[in-house]
Amino acid sequence: MEEEKLETRGNPEPERKDPREKVIVLKNVKKIYHMGKERVHAVDGVSFEIYRGEFCCLLGTSGSGKSTLLNLMAGIEKASGGEILIKGKSVRAMSENTLAKFRQKNLGFVFQSYNLIASMNAVENVEFPLVFKRVPPKRRRALAEQMLRQVGLADRMQHLPKEMSGGQQQRVGIARAFVARPEIVFADEPTGNLDTKTTMEVMDLIHAMARRNRQTIVMVTHDPRLAEYADKIINILDGKIQSVEVRRSAEEIEAECQEEIRKYQEEKQRRKELRMQKMKNLRDSMKTGRKKKANAKEDAAAEPAADEENTVLGTAVTEILDEETAIEEALKKETEAIEEKAVTEVSEKDE
């Protein structure tokens, strides 16, 4: 018995499996471009896994193959070899129609150049992905407006892209990417066209929304500062993985999700209380207005007799003034006649 216990203690503990779901799995993925007789290995035998709710960053310099890798995962380009599984489904094996439907249902995109439709205002741009999901018009509009409020553009809903700054346009792009609640959001250099201050604001926004909804983010960047937002950093050079840095555990990610959800619920409650207070003030204002109107009617009902008396008095005064005016004019004419007669008599005597 003692020997069995000692033997059990001596056995190595079984390796713990991560309980989280693997939403993206790459196995020996390759992308080869043919340029004349030359073969360019843009992605060369890449393998890694991304778990649900992770914020993963593909970090590398220009030309390292990071954007090509993102396009392969999103199904925008076809891999030359290897296997790409998104939610357990092979991207390479999908037809174009199947892939398009899969993207509409599961994926969101944030682009460096915003890619907003110039003829549509902010609300219309944000609700556009919901059209393909057959969401009813009223529901689409409500969801789009709610998302724009969350990204701080409540006062820009009717603005066209040309009427907004770069930061505001990217906020619209983020709202559009998140409005349908996709499980995975791909972001290709999402802050490449923005200044430093706006860049950090946009990154805070993407990180917060992903945590709030427990969404998976795959972001491409060349900037190590932006990589600090990630839970996992995959360094890429010349189409190959140089290193993988796991910066947060599953427990830490979940704690951040809980904290962000708590903050969002508190802000939501604060806005609700603010709306209720505004409605109460409006109702009180309307009640006060109705009381004033009722009092005015009572005053108007009590004053008719006085008004009639004033009218009679006014008429009498007018008549007296008219009579005095007539007398003055008569006296004036009589005086002129007397003066004229006197002048005539003097003239006759002189003759």
Q: Is 93 left (phi over 0), alpha (psi -120 to 50) or beta?
A: alpha
Contact (CB, 8 A) for 256 and 211: yes
pLDDT in tens, 35-86: 888 999 999 999 999 999 999 999 999 999 999 999 999 999 999 999 999 9
> Which value, to the nearest 10 degrees, does the dihedral of the CA atoms of residues 135, 136, 137, 138 take?
-110
Q: Give me 19's structure tokens.
A: 């309980």
CA distance 52 to 244: 17
CA distance 349 to 351: 5
Helix (H) and strand (E) counts in the chain: 10, 10
Tell me the β-bridge partners of 35: 38
CA distance 115 to 92: 26
pLDDT in tens, 218-274: 999 999 999 999 999 999 999 999 999 999 999 999 999 999 999 988 988 888 888
pLDDT in tens, 2-30: 444 444 444 555 555 667 789 999 999 99
Q: Give me 238's structure tokens.
A: 């010349």
pLDDT in tens, 99-118: 999 998 999 999 888 999 99
Contact (CB, 8 A) for 55 and 217: yes
When the candidates are 3.40.50.300, 1.10.340.30, 3.90.930.12, 3.40.50.150, the CATH number that belongs to 52-81+90-248 is: 3.40.50.300
CA 107, 213, 27: angle at the middle one, nearest 5?
Answer: 45
Nearest Cα to Cα of residue 165 among 193, 184, 141? 193
pLDDT in tens, 195-223: 999 999 999 999 999 999 999 999 999 99
Nearest Cα to Cα of residue 104 among 122, 130, 73? 130
The pTM of the full predicted model, rounded to 2 decimals, is: 0.73
Tell me the β-bridge partners of 243: 235
DSSP tag of 163: G
CA distance 261 to 270: 14
Cα distance between the two ends of the chain:
174
Q: What is the pLDDT of residue 346?
A: 47
Considering only residues 134 and 6, tell me which one the structure prediction assigns the higher pLDDT: 134
Q: What is the DSSP string of 47-104?
A: EEEEETT-EEEEE--TTSSHHHHHHHHHTSS--SEEEEEETTEESTT--HHHHHHHHH
Q: What is the pLDDT of residue 48?
A: 96
What average pLDDT does the chain have? Answer: 84
